[in-house]
Chains A and B, each alone.
Chain A
Amino acid sequence: MDQAKPAKSRALRVLGQIRSWLSQPSNIILLFFLIALTVLTLYPLLSMLTETFTIHTGREARAARLTAGTLSMYHFERLFATAENDYSWIQFYQPLLNTLLVSIAASLIAIFFGGTVAFLVTRTDLKYKKFVSGVFTFPYIMPAWTLALFWETFFKNVHIGLKTSNGIMASVFGVYMPEWFVYGAFPIALVLGLHYAPFAYILIGGILRNMDANLEEAATILKTSRGRVIWKITLPIVKPAMLSTLLLVFASSMSAYSVPVFLGSPVRFYVLSTKMKSLMDSYPGQAYIIVGVMILFGVSILLLNQKVTNSRKQFTTVTGKSGQISKIRLRKANRPIAVLLVILLLLFAVVPLITFAMESVIIKAGDYSLKNMTLDFWIGTHLEERLDQGDSTGILLNPKVWNALGFSLALAVTCALVAGTCGILVGYGVARKRGTRLAGWVNSLSFFPYLMPSLAFGAIYLAMSSRIPWLRGFLLLSLVGSVKYLPFASRSGVNAMLQLSGEIEEAAVITGVPWWKRMLRVLFPIQKSSFLSGYLLPLVSCMRELSLFVLLVPTSNTILTTMLMQYSEKGWAQFGNAINLLIILVVLLINYLVNKLTGASIDKGVGG
Chain B
Amino acid sequence: MPEIILKNVTKKFGKFVAVDHLDLRIESNAFITLLGPSGCGKTTTLRMIAGLETPTEGTISIGDRVVFDADRGINLPPNKRDVGFLFQNYALWPHMTVYQNIAFGLENLKWDKQRIGNRVRELLEMLHIESFEKRYPSELSGGQQQRVAIARTLAPGPKVLFMDEPLSNLDAKLRMDMRTELKRLHRDTDSTFVYVTHDQLEAMTLSTRVCIMETGVLQQYAPPLEMYSDPANLFVAGFMGSPTMNFIDGRLHADGTVSFGHLAASFKGPDGFVPEEKDIILGIRPEYIHIGPDGELPATVYSTLPSGMETTVRLEADSLALTAVVFDDVDYPVDSKVLYSFRKAAILFDKASGKNFARGSLDRPHAV
Chain A interface residues (CB < 8 Å from chain B): 9, 12-17, 19-20, 23, 501, 503-504, 506-514, 517, 521-522, 525-526
Contact = CB atoms under 8 A, between A and B. Distances in A.
B15 interface: no
A438 to B, nearest CB: 13
Given A17-B73, A20-B75, A503-B88, A511 B52 contact: no
Interface in B83-111: 83-85, 87-89, 91-95, 104-105, 108-109
A513 B108 contact: yes
Given A13-B71, A15-B73, A20-B54, A506 B91 contact: yes
B2 interface: no
A521 B105 CA distance: 12
Q: Specify which of B50, B75, B83, B89 lies most central, judged by the most chain A CB atoms within 10 Å of its CB.
A: B75
Contact of B85 (A13, A15, A506): A506
Contact of A506 (B54, B87, B152): B87
B70 interface: yes
Given A17-B73, A503-B88, A512 B109 contact: yes
A504 B87 CA distance: 9
Contacts of B85: 506-507, 510
A13 B70 contact: yes
Contacts of A522: 93
A19 B73 contact: yes
A507 B79 contact: no
B87 A508 contact: no
A9 B70 CA distance: 10
Tell which of B52, B92, B152 has the most Cβ of chain A within 10 Å: B52
Nearest to A18: B73
A511 B107 CA distance: 10
A23 B71 CA distance: 18
Contacts of B54: 20
A504 B152 CA distance: 13
Given A506-B91, A507-B92, A511-B79, 14 more contacts: A9-B71, A9-B72, A13-B72, A16-B72, A23-B75, A503-B87, A506-B52, A507-B91, A508-B93, A510-B79, A511-B105, A513-B79, A513-B105, A513-B108
B93 A504 contact: yes
B89 A503 contact: yes
Given A511-B105, A513-B108, A13 B73 contact: yes
A15 B75 CA distance: 11
Nearest to A504: B91
Given A23-B77, A522-B93, A526-B95, A513 B104 contact: yes
B254 interface: no
A414 B52 CA distance: 36
B105 A509 contact: no
B74 interface: yes
Given A20-B75, A504-B91, A506-B91, A511 B70 contact: no
B156 interface: yes
21 contacts: A13-B70, A15-B73, A16-B73, A16-B74, A17-B70, A19-B73, A19-B75, A23-B77, A506-B78, A506-B87, A507-B85, A508-B104, A509-B78, A510-B84, A511-B79, A511-B104, A512-B108, A512-B109, A521-B104, A525-B95, A526-B93
A369 B104 CA distance: 68
Given A12-B73, A16-B74, A509 B104 contact: no
A20 B108 CA distance: 22
Q: How large is the interface on B (under 10, 10 to 19, 20 to 34, 35 or more residues)?
A: 20 to 34
B50 A510 contact: yes
Most buried by A among B50, B69, B87: B87
A501 B89 contact: yes
A497 to B, nearest CB: 15
Nearest to A15: B73
Contact of B75 (A16, A501, A507, A521): A16
A25 to B, nearest CB: 11
A507 B87 contact: yes
Nearest to A10: B71
A441 B161 CA distance: 37
A506 B51 CA distance: 10
Contacts of A514: 108
A501 B93 contact: no
Shortest beta-carbon contacts, A-B, top 10: A16-B73, A512-B79, A511-B105, A503-B91, A20-B75, A503-B87, A507-B91, A525-B95, A12-B73, A510-B85
Contact of B156 (A23, A504, A511, A517): A511
A554 B89 CA distance: 55
B79 A509 contact: yes
A324 B72 CA distance: 60
Contacts of A513: 79, 104-105, 108
Given A510-B83, A512-B79, A12 B71 contact: yes
Contact of B108 (A13, A15, A511): A511
Nearest to A521: B104
A527 to B, nearest CB: 10
Contacts of A507: 85, 87, 91-93, 152
Contacts of A15: 73
Contacts of A510: 50, 52, 78-79, 83-85, 105, 153
B52 to A, nearest CB: 5
Contacts of A509: 52, 77-79
Given A510-B84, A522-B93, A16 B105 contact: no
Nearest to A517: B108
Nearest to A512: B79
A12 B83 CA distance: 26
Contacts of B94: 526
A521 B156 CA distance: 19
Nearest to B54: A20
A131 B154 CA distance: 52
Contacts of A23: 75, 77
